[in-house]
Amino acid sequence: MSVVERISGEIEERFDSDLEMVLGLLAAIYAVYFGTALIIGFSPRGQINAIANLTFYIGVFGLLALALNLHWGYTGLFNIGIVGFMAVGIYVMAVAAKSPEGTASGAGGFGLPIWLAIVVGTLAAALLGVTVALPALRLRADYLAIVTIAMSEIVRFTFLSGTFQEFTLLGYDTGFGGGSGLLWGFDPLMSFIEFAYLTGPYNALVDLTGTVIRNNPEPVVQNLLYGVVLLLFVVAYYVVLRRLGNSPFGRVLKAIREDEEATQSLGKDTNRFKIKAFMLGCALMGLGGILWYMQAGTITPNTFRPRLTFYIWIALIIGGAGSNTGSVLGGAVFAAALFQGPLYLKNVIETVFEVDAPNSFGQAMGPLVSSIDPVPLIYYVVGNIRSLQRVIMGLALIWLMHNRPQGLLGHRKEEAASIPLRAGRRTTGTEAAATDGGRDVGGEGDE
């Protein structure tokens, strides 16, 4: 019927496996970015950086959309406090890993090894999840939504508050840094490279890049590598969640989404299942937050405003709730088209047309009124595209809700069992009788 349906139908026909579909989409996205960069002749540095940024956002949105899919797509839990779990994850991780001596700008931490700190941060997010879930999951679904969004704001204000700026815990002087943020003096990527004895290959890669980018190639290489690490995490999330979905556990989650009361009537303790699924999802969100921000080296509480939560929701809605593959696709499309896309477009336009954007709306409107010259207004719009980003997202969402509310792959139902159910029926016994009965009912069925 509509264009989207035709396109997504075609996409599905063309790719038989999910892997091909994801790789195909990624290839298309990268081709567009590379292509435009080549045509307008970005510097190699700018080009690689743009690609690295894109990869980073495809990775983080993919991770978080997958985690949200466990909550919403599988279990039907309406969590709109994602950002709170992310914040707890990265804050706890940073405080746990920071060296006890403290930096110039604030108190110290616990000096745990980074991997252990990541585990602690993830567990903290899960713990927050269970604290929220225990009282809220007993209530009707929309109350969980209210509780989670309130929680995410409470988390943000807690990290902002002066009370927790510096405190003593277990004899360690530590703190969340309040409004001025938290700074940690370590580089997770480099520690990992050293830990995994990859320094040799890493240096070779830096040297190789040095032939293209003469001036200080290292940060560019690091950006790109980190993007690759994130994509590996997306694969790991996907494997875990798919395995979980295709199991009796996943089957109960799906049943809860469909009809909780009926599931209870079959002897399933739905609250336990909901709490477990919620905790696991929160842990994955916490880890997602850690992976998003740990390479930045610094964090402020106001990064974690609710809008981030809604970005992840948009990514999931684009991809299609209920489908893990869809979540990955949704994360990629959102990152490429809605999150990075407008900014990239702005760069492209400004490079091509050498835009001299007017400074204010008045200056932009002046020529349009006096001499019907729309160019300054267009330049002004392009120059301020960052502010328009959310308008574009809103429009995209409205359009999607009208034309394809189930998203790219939401119509697809992934079978919840550890074994293939359709792999032909068994051959023993009453085959013939069954077929007879079958025809019988077929005739009777009063559809």
Partner 1 sequence: MSDTEVDPPDAGGATAGAESADGDDAEATAEGPGALAESSPEFEDVPLKVEGLRKEFGGIVAVDDTSFEVEAGTMTGLIGPNGAGKSTTFNCITGVHRPTAGNVQFNGEEITGLSPHQVANRGLVRTFQIARELEEMTVMENMMLAPKGQQGETLWRSLLPWSRQAVVEQEKEVLERCWDILEFFDIDHLAHEYAGNLSGGQRKLLELARALLTEPDMLLLDEPFAGVNPSLEERLLDHIHELREEGYTFLIVEHDMDLIMENCSRVIVMHQGNVLMEGTPSEVRSNEEVIEAYLGGNQ
The answer to whether residue 165 forms part of the interface with partner 1 (CB under 8 A) is no
Contact stretch for partner 1 (CB under 8 A) within 4-12, 350-358, 390-398, 412-420: 412-420
The answer to whether residue 100 forms part of the interface with partner 1 (CB under 8 A) is no
Shortest approach of partner 1 to residue 244 CB, angstroms?
6
Contact stretch for partner 1 (CB under 8 A) within 6-14, 185-193, 387-395, 425-433: 425-433
Cβ-based burial of 13 (10 A; exposed 0-12, middle 13-18, buried ≥19): exposed
The answer to whether residue 211 forms part of the interface with partner 1 (CB under 8 A) is no
The answer to whether residue 268 forms part of the interface with partner 1 (CB under 8 A) is yes
d(CA 164, CA 179): 10
The H or E element containing residue 14 is helix 3-14
Among 35, 135, 248, 374, binds partner 1 (CB under 8 A): 248
The answer to whether residue 250 forms part of the interface with partner 1 (CB under 8 A) is yes
- C-alpha radius of gyration, the chain, whole number: 25
The answer to whether residue 407 forms part of the interface with partner 1 (CB under 8 A) is no
Nearer to partner 1, 28 or 434 (CB): 434
Footprint of partner 1 on residues 120-149 (CB under 8 A)? none
What is the secondary structure of 47-113 as a DSSP string? Answer: HHHHHHHHHHHHHHHHHHHHHHIIIIIIT------HHHHHHHHHHHHHHHHS-TT-BTTB-------
Site string for partner 1, 274-313 (x = CB under 8 A): --x---x---------------------------------
Among 112, 127, 240, 388, binds partner 1 (CB under 8 A): 240
Among 5, 101, 194, 258, binds partner 1 (CB under 8 A): 258
Q: For residue 117, what are the CA distances in angstroms to 121, 342, 365, 371?
A: 6, 36, 53, 62
The answer to whether residue 437 forms part of the interface with partner 1 (CB under 8 A) is yes
> What is the number of residues in the chain?
447
Contact stretch for partner 1 (CB under 8 A) within 42-50, 254-262, 336-344, 385-393: 254-262
The answer to whether residue 356 forms part of the interface with partner 1 (CB under 8 A) is no
d(CA 24, CA 14): 10
Nearer to partner 1, 276 or 390 (CB): 276
What is the C-alpha end-to-end distance of the chain, expressed in Å?
Answer: 25
C-beta neighbour count of 392 within 10 angstroms? 15
d(CA 324, CA 316): 9
Closest CA to 219 of 55, 34, 49, 33: 49
C-beta neighbour count of 267 within 10 angstroms? 6
The answer to whether residue 442 forms part of the interface with partner 1 (CB under 8 A) is yes
Interface residues with partner 1 (CB under 8 A) are 240, 243-244, 247-252, 254-255, 258-259, 261-270, 273, 276, 280, 413, 415-419, 421-422, 425-426, 430, 433-435, 437-442, 444-447
